[in-house]
Amino acid sequence: MADLENNEPTAEQKAKEGKEIARNTEGTDSSGKDSVAEREFDEIVKEAPELVRKEFYALHSSRVRQFADPIVEKVTPGHIDKLIEYSLKSDENHYKFITSNRWFYLSYLIIFLAFLIVFFIALQRASG
């Protein structure tokens, strides 16, 4: 309440501003870091409560990691469609493989049971 009486922004408002600055600023320096946004984000988030600070650092670091790989920027919806298509084909082939294996296991079981029946019949005739 004291922050509202002084017309100063609250920690949440400052954190939101920092997040917007980090999202909207695209200028980078020679080291590849978003220097202006990084500094402003750090200044605003340092004043926030610890729980809010941890949350925004986690959000900010995930945003940075998401675009760190240059290959990610080149992925198109066509690539994603192909990936989904290949995944579906792989699932279908895996299902076919498993069902064909079941038939082989069933045939091996039937052959084994037939052998046991013949063996026990022959054993019974020999003893009886």
- Using 50, 70 and 90 to split pLDDT, how confident is the model at 33? low
The pLDDT tens digits for 97-111 are 888 888 888 999 999
Q: In the predicted model, what is the mean pLDDT of the chain?
A: 75
Element of type H or E holding 32? none
Nearest to 42 by CA among 60, 69, 25, 63: 60
**Number of CB atoms found within 10 A of residue 52's CB:** 16
**Residue 117 to residue 119: CA distance in whole angstroms:** 5
Tell me how far apart the alpha carbons of residues 54 and 35 are, in angstroms, rounded to a whole number.
20
Q: Considering just the CA atoms, what is the radius of gyration of the chain in Å?
A: 33
Whether 11 and 52 have beta carbons less than 8 Å apart is answered as yes
In terms of pTM, does the model score above 0.75? Answer: no
**Listed residue (55, 44, 53) closest to 14, CA to CA:** 44
- Residue 91 binned pLDDT confidence (cut-offs 50, 70, 90): very high
